[in-house]
């Protein structure tokens, strides 16, 4: 059965106190909307529709950045969840299959839970995701009668007996798409809030003789984010889970609580991660690498046996081959470093290619930007770049070539050559003593 995702992301998120749409606030390096889309992607949806309202252009752009095939529907006026889902009708015109309603601010629903909902749809017309709440509070209650979900009652509309129920509504629902929109057409807004509740479709379905059931999940999966404090809690929960999964996959972390993963970080077994390491989006670390303390990695690939850090920064486009060493206070951006090469100290390597087994001395800088364009530096295999060398791109250093320390290299260096590009040193006898005496006398006179 084909599945379409309808992801609701139109809310302003007043409690966030932000100009940014609520669903675009980040968890683990990605908007919470993307986390919801990733959850739904486990079902291999035929279509995905994001319903946007506040900041619709930005929400649509973020959704398309993750999945270019995502459709965006506009909810210009927020009149309730049923009204929000109804805005996806045009985007799903001609679609024959199930619709699953998710929420852009509920990012942690597991693949297993969604698979269970899809399975339950084989035997029931409407499937609702619920959870046993430790503190039911103001959640909507799921009322079960005769082994069927009979209705969903919002807290503000519930009786005392209904409020005593601890099985609560997550808001996530699955049904045949045509059936879903047909039920929504029958929803009215005669309730305490004057809104069109998606929850009302269950009661309407039951009066029409349709079946409804509940799939239960852990309460943590249904965490909704409505404030900065809840956003921080969500980050904490994500990181705790990611660290545990990494350890179970064979990754060693000296101080796990100080390591922060992105939503898509991939780390191979037998990798060692020292304290205070941060992974931004788009990082893959292969088996047996070492990421030393206080390093920051984003958009990069680290191969088997490589050592990064301490205090290193790998930016997008950094590609480290096997057994590469990138040391303290080294920054690498959009550069490929071949097997066994070393950049050990205080260097910037940007828009560059470094050959196998080359050694880049301390303080080396690839001068890649002329104020308008970026230019490439190419260094061959077995080259030796002396400390404090400025490589003014575009420039090529041949295999087994060398640069003298303190050189400014502006022309290509052929294979095997030594290049020295620095001013001739002159020593002026006694000049330092005379100069200091003159300066001290001037200072004394001025005081």
Span 296-351, pLDDT tens digits: 999 999 999 999 999 999 999 999 999 999 999 999 999 999 999 999 999 999 99
**DSSP E strand stretches across 298-436:** 301-302, 307-308, 313-314, 319-320, 325-328, 331-337, 342-345, 348-354, 359-360, 365-367, 377-379, 384-385, 390-392, 395-397, 402-403, 408-409, 418-419
- Best-predicted range by mean pLDDT (129-138, 267-276, 416-425): 267-276
- Do the strands 212-216 and 71-74 form a parallel or antiparallel pair, or are they unpaired? unpaired
What is the pLDDT at residue 445? 86
Mean pLDDT over 358-377 rounds to: 97
What is the pLDDT at residue 447? 58
**Measured between alpha carbons, how far is residue 246 from residues 225, 249, 269, 272, 409 in Å?**
25, 5, 8, 11, 44
- Model confidence band, residue 280 (pLDDT cutoffs 50, 70, 90): very high
The token pair at 277 is 């390491």
49 or 193, higher pLDDT: 49
- Model confidence band, residue 11 (pLDDT cutoffs 50, 70, 90): confident
pLDDT above 80 for 156:
yes
Name residue 408's beta-bridge partners: 390
pLDDT above 80 for 191:
no
- Model confidence band, residue 361 (pLDDT cutoffs 50, 70, 90): very high
What is the pLDDT at residue 137? 85
Mean pLDDT over 347-374 rounds to: 97
- Model confidence band, residue 93 (pLDDT cutoffs 50, 70, 90): very high
What is the pLDDT at residue 107? 93
pLDDT above 90 for 427:
yes
- Model confidence band, residue 12 (pLDDT cutoffs 50, 70, 90): confident
Contact between residue 167 and residue 141 where contact means Cβ atoms under 8 Å apart: yes
Q: pLDDT > 90: what percent of the chain?
A: 91
Mean pLDDT over 414-442 rounds to: 94
Longest dimension (CA), the chain: 105
**Measured between alpha carbons, how far is residue 171 from residues 61, 130, 131, 358 in Å?**
25, 8, 11, 58
- Model confidence band, residue 192 (pLDDT cutoffs 50, 70, 90): confident
Helices (H) and strands (E) in the chain, counts: 9, 35
What is the pLDDT at residue 19? 92
- The answer to whether 345 is a known catalytic residue is yes
What is the pLDDT at residue 412? 98
Contact between residue 397 and residue 383 where contact means Cβ atoms under 8 Å apart: yes
pLDDT above 80 for 238:
yes
pLDDT above 70 for 30:
yes
As a residue count, the chain comes to 447
Q: Pick the catalytic residue from 25, 54, 345, 375.
A: 345
């Amino acid at each position: 059965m084909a599945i379409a995702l309808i992801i609701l992301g139109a809310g302003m998120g007043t409690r966030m106190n932000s100009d940014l749409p609520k669903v675009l606030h980040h968890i683990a390096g990605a908007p919470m909307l993307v986390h919801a889309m990733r959850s739904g992607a486990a079902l291999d949806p035929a279509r995905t529709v994001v319903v946007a309202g506040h900041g619709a252009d930005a929400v649509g752009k973020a959704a398309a950045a993750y999945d270019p095939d995502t459709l965006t529907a506009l909810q210009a006026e927020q009149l309730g969840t049923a009204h929000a889902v109804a805005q996806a009708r045009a985007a799903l015109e001609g679609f024959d299959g199930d619709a699953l309603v998710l929420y852009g601010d509920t990012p942690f629903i597991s693949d297993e839970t969604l698979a269970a909902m899809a399975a339950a749809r084989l035997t029931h017309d409407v499937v609702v995701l619920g959870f046993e709440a430790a503190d039911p509070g103001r959640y909507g209650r799921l009322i079960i009668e005769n082994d069927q979900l009979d209705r969903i009652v919002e807290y503000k509309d519930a009786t005392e007996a209904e409020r005593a129920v601890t099985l609560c509504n997550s808001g996530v629902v699955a049904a045949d798409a045509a059936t879903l929109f047909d039920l929504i057409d029958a929803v009215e807004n005669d309730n305490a809030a004057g809104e069109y509740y998606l929850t009302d479709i269950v009661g309407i379905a039951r009066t029409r003789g349709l079946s409804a059931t509940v799939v239960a999940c852990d309460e943590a999966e249904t965490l909704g984010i409505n404030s900065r404090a809840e956003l921080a809690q969500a980050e904490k929960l994500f990181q705790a889970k990611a660290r545990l999964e990494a350890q179970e996959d064979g990754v060693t972390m000296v101080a796990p609580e100080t390591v922060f993963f992105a939503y898509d970080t991939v780390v191979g077994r037998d990798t060692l991660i020292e304290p205070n390491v941060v992974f931004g989006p788009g990082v893959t670390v292969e088996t047996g690498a070492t990421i030393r303390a206080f390093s920051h990695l984003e958009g990069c690939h680290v191969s088997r046996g490589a050592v990064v850090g301490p205090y290193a920064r790998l930016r997008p486009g950094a590609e480290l081959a096997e057994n590469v060493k990138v040391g303290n206070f080294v920054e690498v951006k959009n550069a490929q470093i071949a097997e066994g090469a070393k950049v050990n100290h205080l260097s910037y390597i940007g828009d560059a290619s470094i050959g196998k087994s080359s050694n880049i001395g301390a303080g080396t800088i690839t001068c890649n930007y002329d104020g308008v364009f970026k230019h490439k530096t190419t260094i061959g295999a077995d080259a030796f770049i002396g400390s404090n060398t400025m490589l003014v791109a575009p420039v090529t250093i041949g295999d087994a070539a060398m640069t003298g320390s303190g050189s400014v290299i502006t022309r290509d260096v052929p294979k095997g050559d030594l290049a020295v590009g620095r001013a001739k040193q002159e020593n002026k006898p006694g000049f330092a003593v005379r100069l200091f005496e003159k300066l001290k006398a001037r200072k004394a006179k001025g005081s």
